[in-house]
Every structure is written in C-alpha cells, then in structure tokens.
C-alpha cells in the first residue's frame, strides 16, 4: 500500500473465524472518510508457521494486521513477527482480556471461538423452540422422525410444558397425544424406541387437573373428560401403545416439570436405565 492510499489493506487474523476483528476494523475504518478498506481474512490459525506466512504477505504490501488470538503461543508469535517485520498490528482482545483478569482476579479460558459457540447454542435453542411449537400435540406427524425426543401420553400429562422446557435446552422435541379412538400415526413406530418417552399419571390426580382445566375454560365439569373410568381407559390404552413401542415410561404424578425433564435428558442421552 502506498502512503496516503485511500484503501488500506488489513489482514484479519484469528484462531476462530475472525468476525470480532472484522467488526472492529469496519468500525474504525468508518472514521476515515469512506471507510473503504481491503480486508483479508486468515481464520482458524493454529500454528506459528501460519503467523509467519501472514507477516510475509503483509510486509510486502505495507498492510495492517488486526488479530483476535487467545492462544498464548500464537500471541507471542504475533508479537515477535511484528518486531521482525516492522508491521503495524492491532491486538483486538489482548488489552481487554488483561483488564478483565486484573478486575476479576481470574484467568481467561483461552478457548478460541467462545462467542461463536455461544451464538450457536442460542440459535439452536431458538430452532428447538420453533420445532416444538410446530410439532406440539401431534400437529405434524412427519416431525416425529426428525425429533430427538418424542413425548407420548394422554391429555394433561405435561407433554407441552416438558416439550418447551426441553426445547430451551436445545433439544428438538415433538409430542403426540394418545387417544383410544384415534390410531397413532405410523411414523411413531418408525423411530427408535430410545427416542420415545411415555408419560403416565395417577388417575385421581389427572382428574383434578382436568377439572381445573374445564373450570378455567368455563365448561361442564361433569364431562366424560373427567370421568375416572374414562381416564383409566385412556391410561390403559396409552400403556398398551407404549409397550408396543418399547419405550421408557415416566410417571409424572406429583413431579415438577424440571425433575421429569432432567430424567428424560439422562435417559435419552445416556441409555435406558432410570
């Protein structure tokens, strides 16, 4: 780059993807007239040789090197090569990490890509929640084969609350109501049994839950929906379906959603022992 050039060259060097450095470089460049800059990314730097190669290129074109490196040996290599080649460098993370260390009296984890990992976790949770909503209450049986966990059970056995809780852990969940008069979709029998969790509950407790539900809706509390004989018929049918699938069955009676959800996570990730 010739002195006074309107378009400086900046190498973005990172042991992750380099988004942070690029954002900062753009912000700084915007303070210089048009903000026009030739940025050349060098992501996923893993060794000193890659650092040396960048400096050879940068020194030939009088470029700036902006870097976000957290691995100590790479930071040392960057500092040494800057001295060897007389190239202007900007350590995007170094001074701020030092400040954090001094204030918190703790050392940084020194793991590249932590922000990206956090972003990925966030977007996975968002996708999982959208999936759970789309495949709640058997809305789209095709989703059963795409789900990581499938919850089955009769009405008011906490299928939806559990689905939402698990979705916020980044787990793709579908749930399906079991009704004696309605044959389950064939997709339910295509998926591995270890992905399916059956939910059952004490008949008396379920009757109370259903009564409260009808009361909240302003409906007749003497409906067949809260009849004990009907509830027991539904539970018998559901257990028969669960036995056919060969899935793990949880009794959700008097249990918090968090407790059941954590057991589901243990079972689906670590085998079928409960």
Question: pLDDT tens-digit profile of 161-217?
Answer: 999 999 999 999 999 999 999 999 999 999 999 999 999 999 999 999 999 889 888
Residues 224 and 141 in one domain: yes
Paired tokens of 49: 């040789």
- Is pLDDT above 50 for 274? no
Token readout for 20 is 């942070």
Residues 91 and 153 in one domain: no
User: Cα 58 to chain center, whole Å?
Assistant: 38
pLDDT of residue 4: 47
Domain final position from 94, 112, 130: 112
In a domain, residue 3? The reply is no
- Please tell me whether residues 104 and 44 are part of one structural domain: yes
User: Would you say 44 and 16 are in contact if contact means Cβ atoms under 8 Å apart?
Assistant: yes
Q: Domain boundary residue among 66, 94, 112?
A: 112
Which pair of structure tokens corresponds to residue 66? 């902006």
Count of domains observed in the chain: 2
Distance CA 169, CA 159 (A): 16
**Do both 148 and 258 map to the same domain?**
yes
The pLDDT value given to residue 146 = 92
Domain assignment present for 4: no
Alpha helices in 141-256 (DSSP H): 159-167, 203-217, 228-245
Distances in Å between the alpha carbon of 209 and those of 205, 206, 213, 216?
Answer: 6, 5, 6, 11
Is 105 found in the same domain as 137? no
Q: Which two tokens stand for residue 176?
A: 């399906």
Highest mean predicted confidence (pLDDT) among 11-20, 60-69, 108-117 = 60-69
Show which of 112, 138, 172 is a domain's final residue. Answer: 112
- Same domain? For 83 and 207 the reply is no
pLDDT, residue 98, reads 73
Regarding whether 205 and 256 lie in a shared domain, the answer is: yes
64-69 average pLDDT score: 90
pLDDT in tens, 106-157: 776 656 555 555 556 777 888 899 999 999 999 989 889 999 999 999 999 9
Residue 43 falls inside a structural domain: yes
CATH assignment at residue 52: 3.40.50
Q: Give yes or no for residue 96 having a pLDDT over 70.
A: yes
Range of the domain at 177: 117-270
Mark whether 103 and 69 lie in a shared domain.
Answer: yes
């Amino acid at each position: 780059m010739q002195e006074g050039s309107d378009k400086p060259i900046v190498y973005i060097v990172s042991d992750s993807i380099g988004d942070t450095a690029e954002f900062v470089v753009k912000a700084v460049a915007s303070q210089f007239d048009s903000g026009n800059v030739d940025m050349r990314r060098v992501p996923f730097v893993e060794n000193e040789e890659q650092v040396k190669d960048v400096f050879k290129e940068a020194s030939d074109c009088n470029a700036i090197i902006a870097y976000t490196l957290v691995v100590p040996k790479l930071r040392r290599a960057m500092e040494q090569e800057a001295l060897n080649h007389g190239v202007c460098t900007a350590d995007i993370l170094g001074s701020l990490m030092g400040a954090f260390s001094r204030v918190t009296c703790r050392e940084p984890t020194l793991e590249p890509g932590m922000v990206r990992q956090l972003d990925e976790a966030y977007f996975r949770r968002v996708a999982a929640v959208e999936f759970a909503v789309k495949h709640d209450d058997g809305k789209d049986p095709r989703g059963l084969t795409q789900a990581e966990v499938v919850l089955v059970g009769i009405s008011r056995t906490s299928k939806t609350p559990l689905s939402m809780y698990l979705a916020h852990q980044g787990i793709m969940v579908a749930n399906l109501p079991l009704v004696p008069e309605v044959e389950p979709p064939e997709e339910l029998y295509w998926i591995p049994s270890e992905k399916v969790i059956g939910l059952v509950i004490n008949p008396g407790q379920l009757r109370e839950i259903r009564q409260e539900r009808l009361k909240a809706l302003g409906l007749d509390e003497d409906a067949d929906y809260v009849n004990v004989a009907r509830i027991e018929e539904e539970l018998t049918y559901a257990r028969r379906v669960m036995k056919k699938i060969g899935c793990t069955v949880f009794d959700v009676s008097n249990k918090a959603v968090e407790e059941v959800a954590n057991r589901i996570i243990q079972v689906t990730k670590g085998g079928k022992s409960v």
